[in-house]
Structure formats: structure tokens, C-alpha cells
């Protein structure tokens, strides 16, 4: 693997050398020496809020509270997925404008880690709350698999864990179709999925028994990768264990992709919207009742809280873990994470340290019991603090929908995190996404989508 060796040598050199050659509006980064009243002022690029209305409310209120309690001004860049995946963040950093801190999804951030812009967690871990560290150790340990191609073990701090792709269903549709939500949900394997979905479609009130989606940003990253990871372990992830090759063209991916496409094209269990549908769109179809069941993102819980909270509280919308495959797990994970950036040239060390000290206080807030209890309610992921899990079942929306119990079951035995490879946007979405969408459209076979994705990625990115 000579290419991998060269790449790792470059990463190591970039990490040792720090960040050089950057110029631009440093004052935009640092906010000077502080705001009025002697407090600090620094830039924070924020992504969590974009997931749902309830996530937006949580993050905005938390920022205001923190600013008031700590006499600080957080210069917020409220960002979207496109800002990160589309290159806006990277271009700004390259032009000398960077935040002190950002939050994001780990798989999008290898593009910032590889040049040495992100500070490894070990360099500031001792400044974090001892109580928080004790209760999040399990999540820190699991998250290390996301950075296995780099030199440090951990570059970002997990705040919430999005685990697998849970099944999500209408309990009332099961009842009306003569199925038991206790015994028939969630499906036990692929064949059981077909059985339940056919019964829902034939006997239930919905139009479609199980909706798949082919949108380029969703087709490869939820139900499908949950199936492949549970079946093949690292062979079912996007990259192999040492990041030396993509895996799309192996038997695990080809079999799962064919099964996924067959649900729509062979068995007719999904609507004609399948090729362009997103998981958010399908969540709305579940609320409306046209779809009886699908397999989607844990973050859809936030959408349901915004649009159909009563259906969560009375158990009409229910979650269930995906099946356990031959690899001994129920899927993969990625993290909602937060990270410190390294000091750029042109900023005094004492000024940057002041910003860092304030940012550490913010990280400790996100790892506090108070905030962690809000993570599943609003950010719609599993809190990294295990000591808050027990009390969450008392929340009607979290408990009656089986949301928390589903995440707890899914996380058992889970070990494969989405890689934070610098080219994950191409690997997951920009190259593979359109080809997998073409398979859902029926323009190419599932096997061809896998083979062509792997070939194009090997030709166009450095592994």
C-alpha cells in the first residue's frame, strides 16, 4: 500500500508543522481581544441547528444562555450541510478565515483534519470536565474508529451518536393490517421485512408498505449501509479497515444493494417517488399515512417532534432496531461532534488561548448532564453520557415511541464508525450517490452501480 504510506506521511508532517501560509481577515477569526465588559469574543461555526426546528431552538437558546452566563460573545456562523460538503468551510479556512470551534458530523471533516487544522483531543482532554469524561469514555473509545487513517486517535469530541438506521413505523397501520407491533416489528431479517411490508400494503390503510429513497444524499448512507455493516463489518463500510480501498464492489454491497432496489422495482412496495425521495420526505409520508414503514435516520425524531409530537407521545409512530447480521452488529454509526481548531499564523498565542479556554467551557456545557438530556429530544441522537439514559424513558415522546430503547439496543456490539476520510463527500455522495440513484431508477443494475462507483472512486481520489 505505497499510496497509503505516502498519504499518512503527509498527514503526520502536516500535523507536526501546524498551519502555515494562511492569510486573511484574522480579526474575523478572533474577534480581537474580547468584547465589552472584559469578556471574550470568538467565532463558532455551527451545524447542529440545521437538523430540525427543535434542534435550532436548542442551539440558539443554549448559545444565548452561555453568552449571558460567561460574559462572552459567540460570533455564530449558522451553517448547513451544503456549506460543509460543498466546500464553503474549506475555502474560507484556506483563505485565512477559520473559527476557534466548530460542530459538525464527523464524516464530513477529514478535509479539515488532513491539513493539520484540527487540534487532536489528547492535546486538551485534561481541560475537560472529569465528571463528563468518566461518563463519555465509551463514546470516545468507539469514535476512534472514525479516525483510523490518521495518526491521532481522536480529533473531535462526540456529543451525540447517530447509530444505524432504525425502522420507523405507524403502529396503527400494523393493527389495521392484522399485524402485531410487539411481534411483527421491527422485521427480523430481509425476508421478514418483505413479509411485513406486503401485509401492510395489502391489508393496511397506507399506500406503500415500505418506502425506500434514492436521493443522492441519502441513498447510500442510511438503510443500505446499515444492512452492509451488520452483514460484513468493515467489508460493509465505505472503506476497508486501513482506508486503502473502497468496498462498494464486494459481494456484501452488491447483494444488499440489489435487495434494496428490489423492494421498489421488483416487489413494488415503495411509491414512484423512490428515486428522488429523501429520508425527510419519507418521514412526512409516514406522518401523512401514505407510507406505513421505512428505515431512516435517528434525526427524523426531531422532525416528528416538530410536526407530529402527539403521534410520538401516544405511540402511533414507533422506532425499532435493525436486525443483527453476520458481523454481530445492527449497523454502523457516526457522531455529532465538536472540535477545536489550531491557532493560525498571525494570532498571538495568549489571545488564541483565551478563546480556547472559553471554547472548552462551551464543550463542557455540551457534555453536561443538563445538555445531554436534551440531545435525544432535539438533536435526535443517542447522548454520549450514559448516566442520563435511564431517566429519558420517562419522557413520553422518547419512551412511548421506543426511541431511546431502540438506540440503546442498536449501540450494543456496535464498532464501525463512518470514516473521516478527506474525500468522504465523494465516496459517500458526490460520485456514488448518482450511480446508486440510477440503480433505483432502473437505468443500471444494482451490481453495476456498485462496480462503477468503486472504479470511478479509485480513478478520481487518492486512497
Q: What is the mean pLDDT of the chain?
A: 91
Average pLDDT over residues 436-463: 97
Answer whether 0.85 is exceeded by the pTM: yes
| Residues 427 and 245: beta-carbon distance below 8 Å | no
Asked if the model's pLDDT at residue 193 lies above 50, the reply is yes
pLDDT tier at 54, thresholds 50, 70, 90? very high
Residue 379's CB is within 10 A of a number of other CB atoms, namely: 29
Would you state the pLDDT for residue 18?
A: 32
- Does residue 4 surpass a pLDDT of 50? no
Grid cell for residue 456: 470511478
Mean pLDDT in residue range 298-309: 94
Model confidence pLDDT, tens digit, residues 67-79: 999 999 999 999 9
376 φ/ψ angles, rounded to the nearest 5 degrees: -70, -35
Can you tell me the mean pLDDT for 29-34? 43
Q: Check whether 212 has a pLDDT greater than 70.
A: yes
State the pLDDT at residue 62: 98
Cα 292 to Cα 171: distance, rounded to the nearest angstrom: 8
| Mean pLDDT score, 322-332 | 96
| Confidence band, pLDDT 50/70/90 cuts, at residue 39 | confident
Written as nine digits, the cell of 155 is 480529533
Question: What is the average pLDDT across 207-233?
Answer: 96
Reply yes or no on whether the pLDDT at 244 is more than 70. Answer: yes
Tell me what pLDDT residue 38 has: 54
Is pLDDT at 398 greater than 60 in this prediction?
yes
The sign of the torsion formed by the CA atoms of 229, 233, 236, 238 equals positive
Which ranges of 401-445 would DSSP assign to H, the alpha helix? 403-411, 424, 432-441
Amino acid at each position: 500500500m505505497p499510496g497509503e504510506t505516502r498519504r499518512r506521511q503527509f498527514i503526520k508532517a502536516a500535523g507536526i508543522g501546524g498551519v502555515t501560509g494562511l492569510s486573511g481577515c484574522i480579526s474575523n477569526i478572533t474577534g480581537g481581544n474580547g468584547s465589552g465588559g472584559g469578556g471574550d469574543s470568538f467565532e463558532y461555526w455551527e451545524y447542529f441547528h440545521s437538523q430540525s426546528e427543535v434542534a435550532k431552538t436548542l442551539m440558539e437558546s443554549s448559545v444565548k444562555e452561555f453568552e449571558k452566563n460567561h460574559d462572552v460573545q459567540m460570533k455564530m456562523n449558522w451553517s448547513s450541510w451544503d456549506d460543509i460538503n460543498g466546500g464553503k468551510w474549506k475555502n474560507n479556512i484556506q483563505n485565512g478565515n477559520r473559527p476557534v470551534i466548530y460542530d459538525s458530523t464527523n464524516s464530513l471533516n477529514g478535509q479539515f483534519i488532513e491539513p493539520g487544522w484540527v487540534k487532536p483531543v489528547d492535546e486538551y482532554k485534561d481541560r475537560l470536565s472529569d465528571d463528563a469524561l468518566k461518563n463519555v469514555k465509551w463514546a470516545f473509545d468507539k469514535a476512534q474508529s472514525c479516525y483510523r487513517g490518521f495518526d491521532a486517535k481522536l480529533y473531535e469530541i462526540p456529543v451525540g451518536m447517530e447509530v444505524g438506521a432504525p425502522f420507523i413505523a405507524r403502529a396503527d397501520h400494523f393493527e389495521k393490517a392484522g399485524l402485531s407491533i410487539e411481534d411483527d416489528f421491527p422485521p427480523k431479517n430481509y425476508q421478514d421485512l418483505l413479509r411485513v411490508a406486503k401485509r401492510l400494503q395489502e391489508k393496511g390503510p397506507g399506500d406503500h408498505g415500505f418506502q425506500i429513497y434514492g436521493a443522492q444524499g441519502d441513498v447510500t448512507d442510511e438503510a443500505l449501509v446499515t444492512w452492509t455493516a451488520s452483514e460484513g463489518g468493515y467489508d460493509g463500510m465505505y472503506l476497508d479497515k486501513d482506508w486503502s480501498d473502497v468496498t462498494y464492489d464486494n459481494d456484501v454491497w452488491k447483494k444488499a444493494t440489489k435487495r434494496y432496489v428490489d423492494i421498489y422495482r421488483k416487489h413494488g412496495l415503495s411509491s414512484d417517488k423512490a428515486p428522488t425521495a429523501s429520508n425527510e420526505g419519507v418521514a412526512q409520508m409516514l406522518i401523512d399515512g401514505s407510507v406505513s414503514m421505512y428505515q431512516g435516520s435517528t434525526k427524523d425524531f426531531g422532525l416528528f417532534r416538530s410536526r407530529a409530537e402527539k403521534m410520538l407521545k401516544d405511540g402511533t409512530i414507533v422506532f425499532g432496531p435493525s436486525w443483527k447480521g453476520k458481523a454481530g452488529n445492527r449497523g454502523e454509526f457516526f457522531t455529532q461532534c465538536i472540535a477545536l481548531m489550531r491557532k493560525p499564523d498571525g494570532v498571538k498565542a495568549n489571545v488564541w488561548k483565551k478563546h480556547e479556554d472559553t471554547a472548552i467551557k462551551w464543550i463542557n456545557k455540551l457534555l453536561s448532564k443538563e445538555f445531554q438530556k436534551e440531545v435525544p429530544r432535539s438533536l435526535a441522537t443517542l447522548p454520549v453520557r450514559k448516566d442520563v439514559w435511564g431517566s429519558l424513558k420517562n419522557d413520553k415522546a422518547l419512551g412511548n415511541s421506543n426511541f431511546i430503547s431502540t438506540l440503546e439496543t442498536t449501540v450494543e456490539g456496535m464498532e464501525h464508525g463512518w470514516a473521516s476520510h478527506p474525500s468522504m463527500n465523494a465516496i459517500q455522495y458526490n460520485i456514488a450517490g448518482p450511480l446508486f440513484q440510477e440503480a433505483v431508477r432502473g437505468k443500471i443494475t444494482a451490481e453495476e452501480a456498485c462496480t462503477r462507483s468503486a472504479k470511478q472512486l479509485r480513478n478520481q481520489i487518492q486512497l
